[in-house]
């Protein structure tokens, strides 16, 4: 059976929550949308959590994902930041559970490794690799080239990276079935490009 899923990626945060949604049919990956939900003007923490829940529900209603991929909290932050980030992630997960959507969690290192081939890649490098993939009109919303320079925050590309990471990991889990059926799956960006050399393009340069 041809792979056909809509995956919503979430990069949780109490100030900025990133999101990115993709639709994968076979080997074709289309970007449905990416952006952020800003919570910077909301001062009360419980209200922020309420906004995260409502925002996640709205994203689910908009993109109608089959599965949700979420970035795990990074344990290099201070205790208070970790507590707040953990709550934000938990609220986003709760929203998905309310809508009976399967949830998959990936560490920042795993996402970077899957997308760029380097677990220590910078956020900018992750964004650049994603831009290469979605630079093709047929891969972008409304058939137009998606301009990643319009994304103000890298939280959006982090979320999109989580969605792509889940697609690649999902392919790994199905590799035995796919191999038996003579189908191909991809464990990461490099494997995808090796089978799709025409998808390699130069990043869009910012005008000076």
The answer to whether residue 66 is domain-embedded is: yes
* pLDDT interval class at 198 (50, 70, 90): very low
**Number of domains making up the chain:** 1
**Which CA distances in Å does 52 have to 87, 103, 154, 161?**
10, 16, 18, 20
Specify the higher pLDDT residue, 150 or 173. 173
Q: How many residues does the chain have?
A: 208
Lowest mean per-residue pLDDT among 46-50, 116-120, 132-136 = 132-136
The answer to whether residue 40 is domain-embedded is: yes
The answer to whether residue 30 is domain-embedded is: yes
155 has catalytic annotation? yes
The answer to whether residue 205 is domain-embedded is: no
Contacts of residue 125, defined as CB under 8 A and 6 or more positions apart, other chains included, come to: 112, 116, 118
What are the tens digits of pLDDT across the range 82-132? 888 899 999 999 999 999 999 999 999 999 999 999 999 988 899 888 888
How many of the other CB atoms lie within 10 Å of CB of 98? Answer: 12
Specify the higher pLDDT residue, 18 or 197. 18
Does the structure show a pLDDT above 60 at 61? yes
Could you tell me the pTM of the whole model?
A: 0.79
The answer to whether residue 206 is domain-embedded is: no
Range 69-86 average pLDDT = 82
158 has catalytic annotation? no
The answer to whether residue 42 is domain-embedded is: yes
Q: Can you tell me whether residue 206 is helix, strand or coil?
A: coil
Contacts of residue 4, defined as CB under 8 A and 6 or more positions apart, other chains included, come to: 24, 25, 26
170 has catalytic annotation? no
Distance (Å, rounded) from C-alpha 204 to C-alpha 123? Answer: 16
The answer to whether residue 9 is domain-embedded is: yes
The answer to whether residue 26 is domain-embedded is: yes
DSSP characters for 55-105? HHHHHHHHH--SEEEEEPPPTTS-HHHHHHHHHHHHHHHHHHHHTT--EEE
* Owning domain of residue 194: 4-199
Considering the candidates 67, 71, 158, 170, report the single residue annotated as catalytic: 71
Distance (Å, rounded) from C-alpha 90 to C-alpha 87? Answer: 5
CATH of the domain at 132: 3.30.420.10
Considering the candidates 11, 67, 158, 170, report the single residue annotated as catalytic: 11
Considering the candidates 67, 155, 158, 170, report the single residue annotated as catalytic: 155
């Amino acid at each position: 059976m041809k792979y056909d899923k809509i995956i919503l990626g979430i990069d949780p945060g109490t100030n900025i929550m990133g999101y990115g949604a993709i639709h994968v049919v076979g080997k074709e990956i289309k970007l449905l949308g990416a952006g952020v939900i800003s919570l910077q003007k909301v001062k009360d923490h419980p209200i922020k959590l309420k906004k995260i829940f409502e925002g996640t529900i709205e994203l689910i209603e908009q993109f109608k994902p089959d599965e949700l991929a979420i970035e795990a909290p990074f344990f290099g932050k201070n205790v208070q930041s970790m507590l707040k980030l953990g709550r934000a992630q938990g609220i986003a997960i709760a929203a998905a559970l309310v809508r009976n959507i399967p949830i998959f969690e990936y560490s920042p290192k795993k996402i970077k490794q899957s997308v760029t081939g380097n677990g220590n890649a910078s956020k900018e490098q992750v964004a650049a690799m994603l831009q290469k993939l979605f630079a093709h009109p047929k891969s972008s919303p409304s058939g137009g080239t998606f301009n990643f320079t319009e994304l103000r925050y890298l939280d959006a590309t982090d979320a999109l990276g989580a969605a792509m990471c889940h697609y690649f990991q999902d392919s790994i889990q199905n590799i035995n079935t796919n191999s038996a059926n003579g189908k191909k799956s991809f464990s990461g960006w490099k494997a995808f490009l090796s089978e799709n050399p025409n998808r390699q393009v130069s990043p869009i340069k910012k005008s000076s």
